[in-house]
Amino acid sequence: MPASLYQRILGEDFARLPEPLRRFHGSPVGGRVEGTFRVERGRGTLRSLMAEIARLPRASERVLVTLAVQVAGEEEHWTRSFGEQRLHTRQLTHAGRLVELHPPWKLKIRLGATEQGMQLEHERCYWFGIPLPRAIAPKVESFVEARGESWFVIVTIGLPLFGMVCRYSGEVHPA
């Protein structure tokens, strides 16, 4: 059986992940999780406009979230649903990094595995294929922590000089 996308990127460190994350990210066909998240939006017109342009989830104290991952060859297709709002991305690997495509955006991410979970460190952002200078590029911070058979997720998207644009967090479990 060929190695999954996350196995290829993490290599030997994949074994450090907690069992529920290894099962999910090691699946040859993908998977589905669901849970309830809190979604925050940064205050102000500019932050709100940026969140809308990026099609980020709308603010909510409790929104049903599902994540469906489908493996398609060397890629994974991710569909995140925040209530009725959907966010589609593709993930692949390039030069040992996770690349997430959310046209017109492309993010290059360094994955790190620990016994508690996984850290996703944003390294570079592209807009219509053009690398953005870090001084103006959106920054994404993500952490996943195992909690029994489920895991806690926190994702923060921000802009230099403006701060947090959107943050979503909550616990998900296999559906």
Could you tell me the CATH number of the domain that includes residue 140?
Answer: 2.40.128.20
Split into its structural domains, the chain has a count of: 1
CA distance between the termini of the chain:
24
Q: Token pair of 75, please?
A: 């890629």
Q: Write the pLDDT tens digit of every residue in 39-52.
A: 999 999 888 888 88
**pLDDT at site 165:** 95
**pLDDT at site 1:** 63
Q: pTM of the prediction?
A: 0.91
Distances (CA, A) of 91 to 94, 101, 144: 10, 6, 17
Residue with tokens 């932050």: 47
Residues of the chain scoring pLDDT < 50: none
CA angle 58, 107, 172 (to 5 degrees): 50
**pLDDT at site 148:** 93
In the DSSP assignment, the letter for residue 2 is: P
Structural domain harbouring 81: 5-174
Residue with tokens 């500019």: 46
Q: Write the pLDDT tens digit of every residue in 91-108.
A: 999 999 999 999 889 999
**pLDDT at site 55:** 84
